[in-house]
Amino acid sequence: MKMLLVRKFRVLILMVFLVACTMHIMIDLLPRLERRGTEGRPGCSCPPPAAAPPRAAPRWPSKHTLRILQDFSAEPGSNLSSQSREAAERAAGGGGGGGGGAAGGGGGAAAARTRRLIAPGAPRPPPPAAAAAAPLAALFQHPLYRAALPPLTDGDLLFNVNSDIRFNPRAAEQPEWQNEDNEEFLPTGETSIDSYPNWLKFHIGINRYELYSRHNPAIEALLQDLVSQKITSVAMKSGGTQLKLIMTFQNYGQALFKPMKQTREQETPPDFFYFSDYERHNAEIAAFHLDRILDFRRVPPVAGRLVNMTREIRDVTRDKKLWRTFFISPANNICFYGECSYYCSTEHALCGKPDQIEGSLAAFLPDLSLAKRKTWRNPWRRSYHKRKKAEWEVDPDYCEEVKQTPPYDSGTRILDIMDMTVFDFLMGNMDRHHYETFEKFGNETFIIHLDNGRGFGKYSHDELSILVPLNQCCRIRKSTYLRLQLLAKEEYKLSLLMKESLLKDKIAPILYQPHLEAMDRRLRIVLKAVSDCIEKDGYDNVVENDFNTDVNTVTTER
């Protein structure tokens, strides 16, 4: 009798389990059956709607190919991505999103489809005419800003997209990004490049002489992507003294996020050492625009963005160390502080209003597995010590020793250092301890101007020690010298050009007005230093002619 009851109980449990499974299956199938019934319109005498013409899906490179071109080698956690818990906000006013977002309005989508149909050799429509009074547009039309580069060979390009070399799927050693069909993507020409996301177009455009060309449309599109692309993953960047986040977008691009720590009008306290100063997000943005106005084009694209700390950082991160540092302040604001050497504690937490925070997003350079970079110690590096001084601070003939040391004994590297010196002095950046170059191009290439967050800290003080390399070496490119003279003129005033350029950023105004005025003052100091060198050593010994021919024929050696 007891065994019979046990058997009946088991049968009952089995029946309950089968009924539950059947109900789950019916619940899953019901929406499909409803959709199928709606499509067939049973019991409806009205004619079915006209079928929309089939829309071809855009040809995108494989997920793996896009991923390995990103520089996330320094942070393994940045390879993680996750889906956002909420849909991305659509830009108001029909503003188009990035490659992964929906276009704002049907007209924008139609225009995009029309652009894709333009043949490679067909003339493109002219850009909209700029206002006659815009000094920035007039500056870029000046002969000094139309100088052509030397003819580019295959060895001058960082990536040769027309080659038969396939991207190596093992380059990034991330099998989870392998294409489902186990295929490799082969760039085969202009048609394929048009389907690339803008960050990949930026990478492909890098050559021996510049990070990007003057009128590359992908750069403006990339700046728009940085502020509009959906953020799918966030991780802390390892190394460094202050908190930085690696953000991954829906189109597999990545950028370095530096959050806001100071207001625009705040100056660095006078008792702060340069190595303990804050890294400012607006300094990164302003450095990109200044670099472009100086026609160096050696700073990766940077844009400002207002980030929702809850939806776009906390909810999408898989970095548990970062996630655990979020809290709600007594003022009911969302805050976090992460992990780093300086300013990562509850006393220095980053708080939103209530959960919105400003920051800068700098586009990543190509992955190190595809484009190796060499790190160089800056000869005029500071001691980074509270009491000790560097050698160049006590030896007035230090430059002569540098000029006898490779790679400064030949080529253009010493001139690149002078360009970087002028760039840093105009910003007031004392934190240039190292610099990088692309290994493929050897010593005959430009210096990449990375990590500019400690610029624009003081507008009431000009740090003359930044100009020591120029004062000691008395060397400068002719193209740089002529552009500096041009920017000192009233019609091309540097502060006005910077103000106009920075107004394009989404979180403008970027710089406090006294910072803009300080750049004009520092520009006059640079020109006075060059003038003193010319008076002492002669024009030909100071100003290096990097023009192949006359200036008006706009051809330069860089």
Residues catalogued as catalytic? 431
What H or E segment, with its residue span, contains residue 237? Answer: none
**CA atoms of 104 and 96, how far apart (whole Å):** 5
Residue pair 422/484 in contact by the 8 Å Cβ criterion: yes
How many Cβ atoms from other residues are within 10 Å of residue 144's Cβ? 19
Phi and psi dihedrals of 204, rounded to 5?
A: -65, -30
Tokens of 126: 């002219």
Structural contact between residues 350 and 243, judged by C-beta atoms closer than 8 angstroms: yes
With CA atoms as reference, report the closest residue to 421 among 394, 444, 402, 441. 402
DSSP structure string for 146-214: -PBPPPP-GGGBS--TTSSPPPPTTSS--GGGS-TT-------SHHHHHTS-HHHHHHHT-BSS-SS-T
Lookup: tokens for 267? 């100056």
Q: Are 303 and 226 in contact (CB under 8 A)?
A: yes
SS (H, E, C) 96-108: CCCCCCCCCCHHH
Residue 101 · residue 230 · CB < 8 Å: yes
Is the peptide bond preceding residue 407 cis, with omega within 30 degrees of 0? yes
For residue 354, is the peptide bond before it cis, meaning its omega torsion is within 30 degrees of 0? yes
Query: What is the spatial distance between Cα 357 and Cα 260, in angstroms, rounded to a whole number?
Result: 7
Q: What are the φ/ψ torsions at residue 471 (nearest 5 degrees)?
A: -70, -35
CA angle (54 as vertex; 48, 57 as ends), nearest 5: 145
Distance CA 61, CA 63 (A): 6
Instruction: Give the DSSP H or E segment for 427.
Output: helix 413-427
